[in-house]
Amino acid sequence: MIRKIKTFLGFNKAKQPTTDFSAFFHNASSAEKRKLLESVVREANKDQRDLVKRYDLAKAA
């Protein structure tokens, strides 16, 4: 029972390894994060536009 209480309260949790992704978002400045997120959003929008174009071309054929 004590073990379950300790687990519930988080005393038995091992430290999770950090990844490059999590380290970036933890340590980067807000300007760096904004720049990265803007480029990701722009690329995603471009991919979506390309997908819609391919769909329209296939539908028209």
Give the model confidence (pLDDT) of 19-56 as tens digits: 888 888 889 999 999 999 999 999 999 999 999 999 99
pTM beyond 0.85, yes or no: no
Q: What separation in angstroms does the CA of 51 have from each of 9, 10, 41, 44, 56?
A: 47, 45, 15, 11, 9
Residue with tokens 């028209």, as numbered in its chain: 60
pLDDT at residue number 44: 97
